[in-house]
Amino acid sequence: MTRIIERVCTGRRDRTVSRFTKRLRAGLLVLLACFLPFAAAAAPFAAYVMDARSGKEIYAQNADTRLHPASLTKMMTLYLAFTAIERGQVRLDTKFLVSEHAASQPPSRLGLKPGQRIELRYLIRAAAVKSANDAATTIGEGLGGGSEAVFAQQMNTMARNLGMRNTHFANANGLTASGHYSSARDLSLLGRHLFYDFPQYYSIFSRRTADAGIANVASTNRRFLEEYEGADGIKTGYTRAAGFNLTASAQRGNKRLIATVLGGQSTAHRNQVMSQLLDAGFGQAPNNIKEVKPEPPQYMVEREIKRTVQVARAEPQPAAPAPFKISTSARPAQKTNSASVADPAAVAAAVRRASAPADQEVANLGTSTRPQRRPGATATASIATKSAEVEVAARPESKPEGDSAAATSTGGLTSSPRPIRRSGKANDKVSQLDTGATSTPGSLFVQSQEPQPETVELASSMAPARREESIILASLATDEPAPQEATEVVSRISGGGKGYGVSLGLFKSRSEAEQVLVQTALQESAAFGNASRRVGDTKRGFEANFSGMTKSTAQLACDRLHARQQECRVLGN
């Protein structure tokens, strides 16, 4: 064969060569001309195998060489999508707008149209299972505020935080672009973070088919998943510049490996090399090893790095009590010569002065002058008492300072001091004891001609009757809060034809129940696609429920879960 090719290349002729030999020469030249360009353009090869439990390297070949990752890029797109969901920025049912740029991406595609709105759950399924470029671009633009370039910056920030040192992204789908590269080691590291950081979403990578909203899609990795024992993910990729790429994860016993192959010659060749690498890796990986989970990234997106969060460290101070006022009137000024009602000595002196003879000069009592007798006045002492009570009720502002010993408080309203009856030879009077405030016009004094006792003790006087119409200006007591009735959470769902649901059981925490709901919704999207998810807080734990289903759909969904050895029960009327 070599001599024949040499003769053809040098132009020598051999008359003894038969016609059949001439035709063979021509065929060999055509084959060489066809295969030489492909051999020259073959993508570089790289491989890396790690123990997923510890992150330690098992095998490496050109592991840090910067190569085209192709659709393995979508692993980072999905990682950021899962991050946004967990941070509450978006939800699985959030609808993303499809742009003309996203809809115009080359195959593989889901078939999105410009202006269409589609839920994020369907975009994730299309990007993870079918490796749809239009779906991945729509995710990137939706999370990047409408710009795929902004999303690419977020991807690069996340790559640095994950420790991917030989990676730089330019788009969300992995199509060949300048400055878009990664390495076998970095992509294996990203696959490990997907497994540990988002276990509730990781099962999407093992799906053979999925409902992507507008179509049912098949997995680009189904052949390897079906052929290799223990394989459960992760992602394939192919472009002419990159070759046939694959990041795979597999488990056997208590061992789990994650490996990446870049630059395969075909799908079969790539899968064969991956199988050999994993077989060798399972043979070298130790049986018993301490699991060391990777540290989660400190910053999720670039804009979170730029934002400064200030945390107040000062101890909380109790709020100052609001000023309390009993009356809006000003307190009367205290006279310097006024007698204090609360002072027993002052009261006794006032009584002695009131009992003195008429010809004796009476000292100034409480700085007020004795009222003059009015002709024809025949009112009794009881009338004077009531009049004094009416006066004080009408003028609450006449409360003197330091009157706690001679006055009583009724619901915040201070009553008048008890009246003192006096007797004198010149004139017998009953007057209100001045408590130190200057007499004001309009005060009511009633004289009486009836004989009065010579001496009167302050304690013997009758207290005025308490008024029925008490005015409460303020309350110093704090009302006790009404006891709250215990809330009973009932798992039964009611309402119409869709009053049925499915309970997945009780869990110790709300987050655990929510994770089971999300994972079940992804795995059984056909059964729970339109059902609502809720977590009920019961005395026995947190109950994970799907609601808003018909009886037939709820029973069918529960049967599917029973087939997967997952407990459930149908709720309904």
Q: Is 470 a catalytic residue?
A: no
Residues with Cβ within 8 Å of residue 136, at least 6 apart in sequence: 73, 74, 77, 123, 127, 172, 173, 174
Identify any residues that bridge with 37 across adjacent strands, giving them in sequence order. none
Judged by DSSP in three states, 537 sits in: strand
Which residues pair with residue 409 across a beta bridge?
A: 414
Residue 70: which residues within 8 A CB-CB, separation 6 or more?
174, 176, 237, 238, 239, 242, 243, 245
Beta-strand pair 409-410/413-414: antiparallel
Closest C-alpha to 381, from 458, 461, 468, 455: 461
Residue pointed to by tokens 């009973």: 488
> What's the rounded Cα separation, in Å, for the pair 18 and 24?
10
Closest CA to 140 of 128, 123, 125: 123
SS3 for 236? strand
Annotated catalytic, 71? yes
Taking the CB of residue 235, how many other CB atoms lie within 10 A of it? Answer: 31
Quick check: helix, strand or coil at residue 24? helix
Q: Of 382, 414, 410, nearest to 395 (Cα)?
A: 414
What CA–CA distances, in Å, run from 371 to 117, 243, 337? 94, 119, 19
- Which of 74, 255, 399, 429 is catalytic? The answer is 74
Catalytic residue among 99, 131, 338, 416: 131
235 marked as part of a ligand binding site: yes
Catalytic site includes residue 386? no
Contact 450, 444 (CB under 8 A): no
| DSSP-based three-state secondary structure for 381 | helix
| Strand ranges (E), 17-84 | 46-51, 56-61
* Phi, psi (degrees; rounded to nearest 5) at 86: -70, -30
Contact 225, 20 (CB under 8 A): no
CA distance 447 to 424: 12
Length of the chain: 573
Element (H, E) at 96: strand 95-97
Tokens of 474: 């303020």
Q: Is the omega angle on the peptide bond into residue 58 within 30 degrees of 0, that is, cis?
A: no
Cis peptide before 108 (omega within 30 of 0): yes
The binding site for substrate consists of: 235
Task: Extract the annotated binding site.
Answer: 235
Which residues are known catalytic residues? 71, 74, 131
